[in-house]
Amino acid sequence: MNDIKYTQAEMLELINQYNTTDRKTIKQNYKRILNDFNIMPKEIMELGFARNNVYAWSTISSPNIPMLDQALTIAVAFNFSIEEFLKEI
């Protein structure tokens, strides 16, 4: 398992970066992550997320994106960096 650690200052910066990243970018990255890491929506639902949320996160017509704690839960469960959600596409 990828054992990424952040200092408190780095975590604060990550929170600020996530909160200021355009929702469209996070949504596009979510869809890319599902594809790149071969993650099925069902697997995300198995983490305890509601079906409606999981599908809304990838639907263009919905402004919903995973909240930071949800994105972090997905990143930890599937062993990738939370920063994957922040990449400029």
- CATH 1.10.260 matches 24-86: yes
Which amino acid is located at 26 in the chain? I
21 token code pair: 């990243």
Q: What is the C-alpha separation between 38 and 12, in angstroms, rounded? A: 30
pLDDT in tens, 38-79: 999 999 999 999 999 999 999 989 999 999 999 999 999 999
Q: CB-side exposure of 68: number of CA atoms within 13 Å? A: 12
Residue 5 has pLDDT above 90, yes or no: no
Among all chains, which residue has been given the structure tokens 């200092």? 7
pLDDT at 37: 96
Q: What is the value of pTM for the model shown? A: 0.91
